[in-house]
Amino acid sequence: MKITIEPSVLRGKAGAPPSKSYAHRLLICSALAKMQNPGTDPKVLGLTDSQDILASKDCIKALVEAKGPDAVYPCRESGSTLRFFVPIAMALNRGGIFTGTKRLIERGISVYEESLDAEFIKTEDSITVKGGLTPGEYTMRGNISSQFISGMLFGLSVLSGDSVLTVTKPIESRAYIDITIDCMRKFGVDVKEREEGVFEILGGQIYRPADSKAEADWSNAAFLYAFNTMGSQLEIEGLNEDSLQGDKICAVHLDSLSRGYGLINLADTPDLAPVLFAVAAAKNGGKFSGITRLRIKESDRAVVMKEELEKFGAECTIYEDDILIVPARDGLKKPDAVLNGHNDHRVVMALSVLCAAAGGTIDGIEAVNKSWPGYFEELKGLGLKYE
């Protein structure tokens, strides 16, 4: 689906949807509490029906109904869902069959394949895992994705014996591990960090039933702040200034890019990459390091953003772990070619910020349903002009 956006100034009160990071984790904790406490029905309140959340709900249903390792877990396009549920299914059902899009399977579960004693059978649209998760000592790399670490914390927490998980440095996106531990504690399950990157998970813990609510999402709020950086006047509401979400630094980075050339490391906040690249291209340029992990996101975000930003007249050079962005010499130009969303929700939203400044047509806007259904409808109410 395509959308053509005219230059627009947005005004009014705006808020981001619930945090996917919290929502996924709270849903899992709630499901484990329900399984361990029959007859209870803890709720996670205020969720939107984004594709990622629907994937987690589908996998929870599969987990609850599972009779063993032949259960099918439909992960759709959600990397976090896949990586969270593999250790849980191994712990409770000795594995399972995890289905998803070709891109999701390509992104894979390499850290589990390296670290766990199980058989992993891949096809174009599935990964079959055969093997159980047992208490013990595990070591995992911390520089691929924190989702693997969170998945292991969930899986080890439902075992009867004690375990220790050592995460090798550097530990990237550490804030997401902290969010996992915070959600587990809300349900009465404790994880102790004996020293940096060494997590002790006691066996035999029980998730206590509790209603919960995901806080607003700083990752998506970044796009609202970006509109303001480009001249809109949005009053952004509902965010927790004391949140554990690492992406709350978005406002600081966007302000720095609007004031001058940016030097930003994205190792801990890879989800901010598309919107920061977009604002750098529109404003004063920048050099962004720590981009290696962008290759295993919904798209290869450095490569695809380079392709799209150059349609606006910017220049981008990609190195092994850096990208250099030079803004268009005479300011953003309206692209002559249709912009490609690359089936990546954050790419589509980043391009929408630039189109609100210069105009343009984006193909593949349905990708926003992954994290923010109704994104364009909400922006229309704030003054975004499109058809």
Residue type for position 153: L
Q: Of residues 52, 247, 268, 271, which has the active-site annotation?
A: 271
Neighbours of 123 (CB within 10 A): 11
Which pair of tokens denotes residue 345? Answer: 């929700």
Burial of residue 350 (number of CB atoms within 10 Å: 0-12, 13-18, 19+): buried
Provide the CB-side half-sphere exposure for 154 (13 A, CA).
32
Q: What is the 3-state secondary structure (H, E, C) of 128-141?
A: EEECCCCCCEEEEE
Detail the DSSP E strand segments found in 182-269. Answer: 191-195, 198-201, 212-213, 233-237, 262-265
Residue 52 annotated to the active site: no
Burial of residue 151 (number of CB atoms within 10 Å: 0-12, 13-18, 19+): buried
352 Cβ contact list (under 8 Å, min separation 6)? 3, 5, 223, 362, 375, 376, 379, 384
Q: Cα(196)–Cα(169) distance, rounded to whole angstroms? A: 9
Instruction: Give yes or no for a contact between 237 and 13, defined as CB atoms under 8 angstroms apart.
Output: yes
The CA dihedral of 22, 27, 33, 36, to the nearest 10 degrees, is -130
Kind and range of the H or E run holding 74? strand 72-74
Q: Which sequence positions are flagged as catalytic?
A: 271
